[in-house]
Amino acid sequence: MSSVRVLVVDDSATMRSLISAVLRRDPEISVVGQAGDPLEAREAIKQLNPDVITLDVEMPNMNGLAFLEKIMRLRPMPVVMVSTLTQVGADVSLAALEIGAIDCVGKPSAGVPAEQAFASLAAKVKAAARARVRPGSDRAPSHAAGGDFKPDGRIVAIGSSTGGVEALLSVLSAFPANCPPTVITQHMPGTFTRSFAERLNRTCAAHVEEASEGAQLRVGQIYLAPGGDNHLQVVGSTQLRCRLVPEPAVNGHRPSVDVLFDSVARVAGKGAVGVILTGMGRDGANGLLSMRNAGAATIGQNEQTSVVYGMPRVAFEVGAVERQLPLERIGAEIINRCNATRETA
């Protein structure tokens, strides 16, 4: 495999050097250039033709979001946002992901040393190099189901990672206001998930909130696992509810999709629909297989529409996926599966 060619864009020379040094430790990455602002970056892109750009948000001459929009409109390519704003300005980071950035990494801070902040940077850059760039403006529109939907009592569990912001916006925008009770684990830092839940709530017909301990699963409610400190599980018998579990990371993640899916398999069995969306790695594959073995319907995002066809690929290969679909059809398929009034063959 040839080296991933990276252009580092940041207005701080110190930060450019630090990012470059971290990336150069990986033998599969080659830092081919650096730029201090978007004007320099534009010329460097033309001359160097990098595979991936790391991009700061706050820079002179043009901010990173404006430059990202231009990249996605004129020359779509993989971009990983690297900024202090990815930690304290979650709305800005989510906007970058919606525009088309593949992933975000926070810069070091007083409480987060460089080794910790950039621990996943090389892996995310390499994943970005393999990703399918889908500019936000190219996102296929989704429309909420009509008034003929009647929930059949099933719950929905969804897992996603890299590319999941776009994917979840697409899927959940197809849900009606009286959607099935839905639980979601998206790999995302704790500073992101509350803002992302609020963003989804503004966009979707159903109510979306960050999951809290003991929250009861109800029709018309969507619960997003908080990032960082806990796994989200579904527990209960007659009344299902959320449980936040402060256990070690699983598959390198906390919250983990496998933990969520395994819990749904135990308590809901055939009364559930499991969905695995775009993402790097294999988290969720075994849990989705547990769901399918328990009688649940299972859906996986197809390769052509996945930003990173990692999690759904592994799930498909282990036999966990009953049906693979393009992103734009998944929301409607979930609602159809959970519709008590649908016609059955």
Q: Which residues are catalytic?
A: 161, 187, 283
Q: What does the block give as tokens for 97?
A: 């992901």
Three-state secondary structure of 28-84: CEEEEEEECCHHHHHHHHHHHCCCEEEECCCCCCCCHHHHHHHHHHHCCCCEEEEEC
Distances (CA, A) of 100 to 121, 167, 173: 18, 12, 18
CB atoms within 10 A of CB 130: 16
Which letter does DSSP use for residue 177 in this model?
T
Question: From CA 104, how far away is CA 242, in angstroms rounded?
Answer: 28
Question: From CA 330, how far away is CA 300, in angstroms rounded?
Answer: 8
- Residues forming a β-bridge with 82: 105
Token pair 């018309």 in the structure block, residue: 220
CB atoms within 10 A of CB 298: 24
Question: From CA 283, how far away is CA 261, in angstroms rounded?
Answer: 10
User: Helix, strand, or coil here: 173?
Assistant: coil
Three-state secondary structure of 100-113: CCCEEEECCCCCCC
39, amino acid identity = L
- Residues forming a β-bridge with 242: 234
Token pair 């519709």 in the structure block, residue: 339
Q: What does the block give as tokens for 253?
A: 């993640």
